[in-house]
Amino acid sequence: MKTKRNFIQTWLLATGLCLLAAVAAPAQQVFQYATGAGTLYYTTNNGAAAIQSYSGSDTSLAIPNTITGLPVTSIGSAAFYQNFTLTSVSIGTNVAALADNAFFYCPALAGVSIPASVTNIGLAPFVDCKSLTVIALATNNPDFVSTNQALYNKARTSLIQFPGGVTGSYNLTAAVTNVGEAFVGATLTAITADPANAYYYSTNGVLFDKSRTYLVAYPGGLVGGYLVPTNVTVIVSAAFEYSAGITNVSIGTNVVSIGSFAFYDCANLLAITVNPTNKFYSSVNSVLFDKHQTNLIQYPAGLAGSYIVPGTVTNILDGAFGDAAGLVSVVVPDSVRTLGVQAFYSCQSLVSISLGNGLTSIGQQAFNECTTLTDIAIPNSVTNIGSYAFYYCPGLQSVTFGAGLKSLGQEAFGACQSLSYVCFSGNQPADGGSVFYFDTALTQILYVSSTVGWGASYDGILTAPCPSCGNLVASPTLGILRSGTNVVVGWPVTATGFTLLSTTNLTPPVVWNTDAPPAIYSSYFVVTNPIIGTKKFYRLKQ
């Protein structure tokens, strides 16, 4: 399934901002077609037009049959990604192909009209469209059918899309053999299956395979906690994804496999707990890990505040902190080597993050849409930063790059409109193109004068030598977490000479008291205090 976590290759066309070229191939020209209050971006090939993206504020849109005399024959993957104004769409009668996730996350979209000409529909074309209640398909379409509000293949054996805005319960007939990810982002409170169905079984509104060992789909509108049944061994990819109702999940002894993004972007999920006897997975302070806590798999998106990543972790996996709306600050220890794709995607309250000195790679879109992030210091150990890693971080003002950086991906810092200070501590890195594209404040890039490879400009921006890069982080990020009846406050051991202060009242004049001296745990200084039922505020002083 191509969702916001893995549609990297179509990102630029999906935003309508620039062209995307394949490696070692000329860029395909993108044309524009004006709508009532927006623009369709399209390419041409073999006498036909293909819609690649849309930008604008139309509420009702009719995709034309032709553009400049050319038939419009396809709508590309994520072409209408994250449009917030469209309420209805009518697809033109020459369109034959509707790609994967073509209308991914269009929260206002209520109705879609699909003509008989559409004979090729990709995976979940209307995924996470939580207002969608009507998929109107031409009755003479030769390959697909709309029945009981859902979109199927003609034989009604494969469910292609269930409309996200339809609530209540939905029953799969005995004929259905494949549901794919049709229920991802749905607001149903129950998914049931006909007892005669040979492939699926349901209990308590949750869908399983017939053997009841695979948990296939959890209904996104079902509110409360969930205990995974003891017979389940596999939680499939995206099984709980975009489930707004789930608040906590308990995983038992027998689960041996959890698919990618299984618990991604569950907005109200506060805790994932694993039975200690499970041989493959574990949980610490409501966060999901592998058994030995070397891979951080999922931080619950509804869990707010600050977080210190345990010193055992070497990899923060794809989407691990994605869409954690209340996450404020994170300390990443020196043990961590990689940040996965969309590791911190759209953490829109994330103000600060301290990256450890063992980190080598920052994945694609790792901090995309972290709108409140203001400064970032890239450690010397980082060699690669992926495409769109910090794309659309409008609050980001300054970045320093460590000496080890070798490559910067395409649009790594695109659309960071406030970015005004950039300094490189090492030799000029390779760039994937338009690294600082669509930036309105950056007029100069600094590089340490003793490094090599630098010319008069980098990525089209003037450069200038400097003696050294300034230290953006005057003090370390302070992390805090609950451990039983105690609260644990910590900061990296590399930040020496700091004293922890606390107060219970921020009303002036504030009296700050010195806390107990810290102990050393793994790669942190930590102070453990009992929870006394009174608010307590902390700061560091050097």
Tokens of 75: 């709508």
DSSP, collapsed to helix, strand or coil, labels residue 30 as coil
Q: Find how far residue 304's CA is from the centre of its chain.
A: 17
pLDDT tens per residue across span 291-340: 999 999 999 999 999 999 999 999 999 999 999 999 999 999 999 999 99
What local confidence, expressed as pLDDT, does residue 475 receive? 52
Q: What is the pLDDT of residue 509?
A: 64
Instruction: Kindly tell me if the per-residue pLDDT of 5 is higher than 50.
Output: no
Per-residue confidence (pLDDT) for residue 53, from 0 to 100: 95
- Taking residue 371's Cβ as centre, other Cβ atoms within 10 Å add up to 14
User: Are the beta carbons of 370 and 392 closer than 8 angstroms?
Assistant: no
The torsion angles phi and psi of 81, rounded to 5 degrees, stand at -55, 130
CA-to-CA dists, residue 339 to 242, 303, 350, 358, 359, angstroms = 22, 20, 16, 11, 8
- Give the whole-angstrom CA distance, residue 338 versus residue 473: 21
* Residue-level pLDDT at 212: 98
Say which residue, 264 or 27, is predicted with more confidence: 264
In tens, the pLDDT along 265-275 reads 999 999 999 99
Q: What does the alpha-carbon distance between residue 336 and residue 50 come to, in Å, rounded to a whole number?
A: 43
Q: What is the pLDDT of residue 527?
A: 86
Mean pLDDT of 112-141: 96
- pLDDT on residue 472: 47
In sequence order, the 6+-apart residues with CB closer than 8 A to the CB of 53 are 13, 14, 15, 16, 40, 41, 76, 78, 79, 80, 81
- 173-182, 316-325, 340-349, 464-473: the lowest-pLDDT one: 464-473
Please give the residue that has the higher pLDDT: either 7 or 408. Answer: 408
Residue 375 has pLDDT above 80, yes or no: yes
Query: What local confidence, expressed as pLDDT, does residue 69 receive?
Result: 96
Given a cut of 80, whether residue 411 has pLDDT beyond it is: yes
Distance CA 380, CA 390 (A): 18
Residue 417: the pLDDT is: 93
The mean pLDDT value for 150-173 works out to 97
Question: DSSP characters for 44-64?
Answer: EETTEEEEEEEEE--SEEE--
Tell me the pLDDT of the chain averaged across its residues: 90
**Collapsed DSSP state (helix, strand, coil) of residue 229:** coil
Q: How far apart are the first and last CA of the chain?
A: 49
Per-residue pLDDT at 17: 35
- Residues 404 and 397: their CA atoms lie apart, in Å, by 22
